Chains A and B, each alone.
Chain A
Amino acid sequence: MNLWRDIKGTLQPFWITLGYLFKKPVTIQYPEEKRTPPPRYRARIVLTRNPDGSERCVACQLCSAACPVNCISMQAAEDADGRRYAAWFRINFSRCIFCGLCTEACPTMAIQTTPDYEICNRDVLKLVHEKDDLLVDGCGKDTEYNFYEHSGIGVVNGRGGNEDEYGPVDPKSLMP
């Protein structure tokens, strides 16, 4: 009967909320209890290094271009052997929205997000991280990858010297 259904529908929620009143809340009390974010959590951004310890970033500006809020800026420079690096590299974390698009754009796996989410600061200028603050010792998520072993022709290895490359072809020869 409809009336019976209505009365039941009115009273049942009261019973349920009363039950919930005596359950333990699921809230995590933040400063005292902290949750461990999953490893792929997108928080503070770092610049990682190659397995051999050299800087990964080649100052290609791709992360800066991908960033929707334009909070990455850098100045490119070149070594004597033609290897590019960032003279300075700056991320403004007061603008960063932790979207992770920069890490997807990066060809060298240099820029990576970490699960360290506690970077609040009362002084907004302290949220502007320079290259020294960003650079870490370590490879981050990919411990094998080294961009210059696959690409970067003629900079580190000779032409065709990388693992998955052919040697240069002599266009004047007709031999197959």
Chain B
Amino acid sequence: MNDLLISLVLILVKLGLILGVVLTMAAYLVLAERKILGRMQLRYGPNRIGPGGMLQPLCDVIKLLTKEDFVPGRADKWIFLFAPGLTALAALLSFAVVPFSPPLALFGREIPMVVCDLNIGLLYIFGLSSLAVYGVVLGGWASNSKYSLLGAMRGLAQLVSYELALGLALVPVVMSAKSFSLNAIVMAQADWPNLLRHPLAFIIFMISITAESKRTPFDMPEAENEIVAGYHTEYSGMRFGLFFVGEYINLVVIGAMTTVFFLGGWHGPFLPPVVWFILKVLFVAFLFIWARGSMPRPRYDQLMHFGWKVLIPLALLNVVVSGAISLAMNS
């Protein structure tokens, strides 16, 4: 019983830590994105509030909280109210299985630095990312507005199609780790990261995860210049804020996933593992912001065409080839 209590408390402490770090990171990623995009477009970005604009996220939150929480007249009210939470929740929950450091020895106990090392961790992340669709779809549908509906349908089709490519891109990673557990995947990359072992899988993964997270260049579900704001057109105040925060938490999640699956997790010379992990996550986040500053948005049918006719066959081929290679190496 005592043991159980200690492990419960440990889980709670780790949860609190991760929540705090992830939420702060998400808030400051918003600022970082605005500043980096600004510099890429030869402007400064927000720099008025606090030194260098450091308090901007706080002001944004206050602004969003004090705005009116508006529900459109013919909306399906309860679904409308719950949908934004789903998105943010699904993104947050993914962190439960991400290992951010090797197990720590503390008070004679081996404490794994992950909230819950599921043996199906990868599938857990997948499950959550496929559930994140519901926030978008239900939110868009319940708004009862044509732009929201169009955004929701686009989001739905895009997320379902790119999930396949995403899953197939991760099969070689699972093959070389021989486990679904994220901890084991990181452990398997001790000598060299998967990025060098499966470069094609990495490219496919990056492309499909961009589509999966609805970030520019694949942000058709919220394409501002075609369908207002897509699925969150009708949202205001903190409910819009939840969609927004969910998106940036998702950015952190993507960073963590890329780090764990391809960049070798916490492995790295000189610096402590946690620092390596955070640095890698931030680097991946920068890559995504960079892509947002550089790429135009393709047309919707081009996106679907690319997903089904290029990316998925390529990913399948990659699975077969890397499977064959690892078989040949083993025998």
State the A residues within 8 Å of B (CB).
10, 13-14, 16-18, 20-21, 23-27, 29
Contacts and interface: CB of A to CB of B under 8 A. Distances in A.
B295 A13 contact: yes
Contacts of A26: 42-43
A25 B294 contact: no
Contacts of B42: 20, 23-27
A93 B290 CA distance: 43
22 contacts: A10-B295, A13-B294, A13-B295, A14-B294, A16-B294, A17-B290, A20-B40, A20-B41, A20-B42, A21-B36, A21-B39, A21-B40, A23-B42, A24-B42, A25-B38, A25-B42, A25-B44, A26-B42, A26-B43, A27-B42, A27-B44, A29-B44
Residue from the set B41, B291, B294, B295 with the largest chain A CB neighbour count within 10 Å:
B294
Given A20-B40, A20-B42, 16 more contacts: A10-B295, A13-B294, A14-B290, A14-B294, A17-B40, A17-B290, A17-B293, A17-B294, A18-B290, A20-B39, A20-B41, A21-B36, A21-B40, A24-B42, A25-B39, A25-B44
B142 to A, nearest CB: 37
A36 B295 CA distance: 36
Nearest to B293: A17
A17 to B, nearest CB: 4
Task: Name the interface size band of chain B.
Answer: 10 to 19
B38, B40, B41, B42, most chain A CB atoms within 10 A: B40
B199 to A, nearest CB: 14
A21 B294 CA distance: 11
Interface string B22-47: 00000000000000101111111000
Contacts of A21: 36, 39-40
Contacts of A18: 290
Nearest to B291: A14
Contacts of A17: 40, 290, 293-294
A155 to B, nearest CB: 56
Contacts of B290: 14, 17-18
A14 B296 CA distance: 11
Interface in B30-73: 36, 38-44
A27 B290 CA distance: 20
Nearest to A15: B294
A27 B40 CA distance: 12
A169 B168 CA distance: 101
Interface in B287-302: 290-291, 293-295
A106 B155 CA distance: 58
Interface string B268-305: 00000000000000000000001101110000000000
A26 B43 CA distance: 6
B169 to A, nearest CB: 18
A42 to B, nearest CB: 25
List 8 A-B pairs, minimum CB-CB distance, nearest first: A13-B294, A17-B40, A17-B294, A27-B43, A17-B293, A14-B294, A25-B42, A26-B42
Nearest to A19: B40
Nearest to B47: A29
Interface string B156-171: 0000000000000000
A94 to B, nearest CB: 25
A27 B45 CA distance: 10
B35 to A, nearest CB: 10
B305 to A, nearest CB: 14
Contacts of A20: 39-42
Contacts of A14: 290-291, 294
A70 B40 CA distance: 43
